Structure formats: structure tokens, C-alpha cells
Amino acid sequence: MAVIQRFVIHELFKDKKPDIATDLLDLKNSIILDLATQLIKIKENRTAVLWGQFKENRYFPKGLIDLNKELDESKRSNLFLSLTNATMQSLHKEVNHTNSKGGYICFIEYVSYKDTRFMAAMIKNTAGIKLTNLKPTKEIHVDLSKLHQAVDVNTSGYLKSLSGNYEKNYLSFIGKGKDTDYFANAFGCIDRITPAVAVNKAPSVIRDFLGQFKVDDATQKSARAQLVKYLSDNINREVHLSKIEEIAISHLPDTCSEEDKGSFLAFSKKEQYEMPATFQARKVNVERLANIYYSTEVFNFNFNHDKIGLVGSASDSNKPILFDQETNDIIIKGEMITQEVKDKIYQATFLDIQKTDKK
């Protein structure tokens, strides 16, 4: 559970100077605390998330370092307020190059799972929120659709990265597009989950997700085959995590609950996966998933992953290529041996016989 430490709201306008709050919000006020808590929950439930790190030599990450050096709570609060103020100026500069009109910018410092975190999120006016002098004054209902942009930094992870002992992504951000990039730009965020990485991780996400529910090998293979087909059918086009979710859910046991079926997206956002909502099915990486390639000095082969099975497996009995685990033999069925292949084998064998005879 998140423990809120500091919270302030400023207002961003495109055509005039931002409206800057002069004081932090009182977290003893249940309405204020509820808003901060809801914003963090909404961010955690969003699927359209990108993971990354900071660009070098940007103001915000430097300010974050200074903030976390300060141990005095009163001085830290002042530094937090100053950092959010300066960040608003960066946001104002960036938003002027877009069609966005701005909105309320909520800055929250909190602790989650022993890590200090810093979050900034933009929300629009809703029927359930009333801000007077940038302070919530009545019951708040934050609509999920109103969290347009957000940046969440694992500050503890970022500080570890400065010493070279932490190579993981330490920030996530919501909002990727023509009129939303300005938000991530103002904080100096850079996306580190490339299409190649996303394609390579996709099979592991499905395999590990299904593994939680003791799915058998045949079902695992079916799920992987459907995933690879989906990626292969969309080479160099955008693919969607929601479709991968459908594939995973369709292979769950009938005993799984609705809660189990609804847990895939949260699972895919774990640190070891960090799957984006959409990504390009990069050709070279998809082909590596679809094919098994192996080469030695004696031979090499390149098999379509879906065409090879195991000897003794009923579900693989119709596969044209089989691997015998006991003898380590690869069996290529007769229908795979075309006349052209037969001719080449015969020619090579005939030449070897001639060479032997001459000796």
C-alpha cells in the first residue's frame, strides 16, 4: 500500500502562465489523501504504460537527486515544492508546441514497497471534483479516462542507477502520441522498451502467466503457436497487448475464476516483463520466434517452430518433423522429402560411391 508523503496540485495552461500553488496540500484532510491514493491506484491499473529511464543532463532528474539528499522534512517539503514549480515551467514550455490545452498537474511523493517514488499526473475537470485555489473541496471521483498523462519514478532505483549498480528501468510513463509526448519530454523520459525487446519477451509472459495455473505442455505449446501466428500475421505492424491477453486467457483451465482471467495485464507489467500496450512486430525478431535454427560444422537446419514435435506426444503425431528425446534423433517424415531433395541426396551419395570405387 502506498504511503503518501507530499502532495501538491498546480494548473497548466497553454496560452498563459501556469497557476502555481504556494503550499503543499494537507494530507490530514481525508478528501485530499483520497485523491492522491486514487491517482496512484489508477496509474497502477493503466495498461498503456511505457518503461524507461532519464535522458542525461535534464533539470528534473537533477532536482530529484537534490530532493533525496535532504533529510530534514521541512526543508525537503520546500525542495519538493520548488521542484514541482520548476517542472511546471518546463511543462508550459513543452505544451505550447502541441494542441493540448493543459489541465491540473498533481505531484505526489510516496513510499511503496520500501521504495521512495515520485509521481506526476495530469487530470481534467470532472463532475466529481472541485478545486478551489488548487485545493480539493468536496468528494472526489476520478474517472480513469481523465488520467491523460503521468510519470512515475522509482526514485530509489534511480539513485541506485547513478552508482552503476542498477540497470533496470526505474520510471514509467503514460501518454505517447503527437499531443502527449510533451509530458514525458518535460521530465526528460526516454522509452527503453524497444519493439525488439517486446517481441522477445512476449512468449515468456504468456508461458509464465499460464505456468501459474499449472497449464500442461500441450496447452503451453498451443498458446505459443497462436502468439507467434498473431505476430507473424502482423510483421512490421503494430500489435496489441490486449490481443495477447486474449490468447493467454483462452488457454486458461476452466477452473480459473474471473479474477484469474483479469490478472494478465497486471502480470505483464511486472518488472521482468514491462510489456507496452502496443508495439511493432519487428520482422527479424518474430522470425526468430517462429523458427528453430541450428548449425554445426557437419550440418545446419532451419525449422518452422510449429512444424516440429516430440516422438510419443499424441498432439504432435501429425507434425512433419519429430524429435526423439531417447535417441536424440530428428525424424523427417516422407512427405517432407520432395523429389528435388531426393535427387540431391542421391547425387551426393552417388558421387561419394564413385570416389570410394576409384580408391
Write the DSSP string, 10-34: EEEESSS--B--SS---TTSHHHHH
**What confidence category does residue 47 fall into, taking pLDDT thresholds of 50, 70 and 90?**
low
**One-letter identity of residue 232:** S
Q: Is 55 helix (H, G, I), strand (E, B) or coil?
A: coil
How far is the C-alpha of 228 from the C-alpha of 248, rounded, in Å? 12
Reported confidence tier of residue 185, pLDDT bands at 50, 70, 90: confident
Closest by CA to 92, choosing from 183, 189, 179, 181, is 183
What's the mean pLDDT in 220-244? 91
* For residue 353, pLDDT beyond 50: no
With a CB cutoff of 8 Å and minimum separation 6, the contacts of 352 are: none
pLDDT above 80: residue 27: yes
pLDDT value of residue 70: 92
What average pLDDT score do residues 77-105 get? Answer: 91
List of E strands, the chain: 3-13, 49-54, 102-112, 115-123, 131-132, 135-136, 147-154, 171-174, 189-191, 238-240, 278-280, 291-295, 300-304, 308-310, 321-324, 329-332
- Write down the pLDDT at residue 204: 94
Closest CA to 23 of 82, 70, 67, 65: 82
Specify burial of residue 306 (Cβ count, 10 A radius: 0-12, 13-18, 19+): middle
- The stretch 301-320 carries a mean pLDDT of 73
Q: How far apart are CA 71 and CA 83, in angstroms?
A: 16
What pLDDT is recorded for position 132?
63
Q: Quote the CA–CA distance of 287 and 51 in Å, as a whole number.
A: 25
Q: pLDDT-based confidence at 131, cuts 50/70/90?
A: low
For residue 192, what is the DSSP state? Answer: -
* Biggest distance spanned by C-alpha atoms of the chain: 101
CB-count burial class (<10 Å; 0-12, 13-18, 19+) for 190: middle
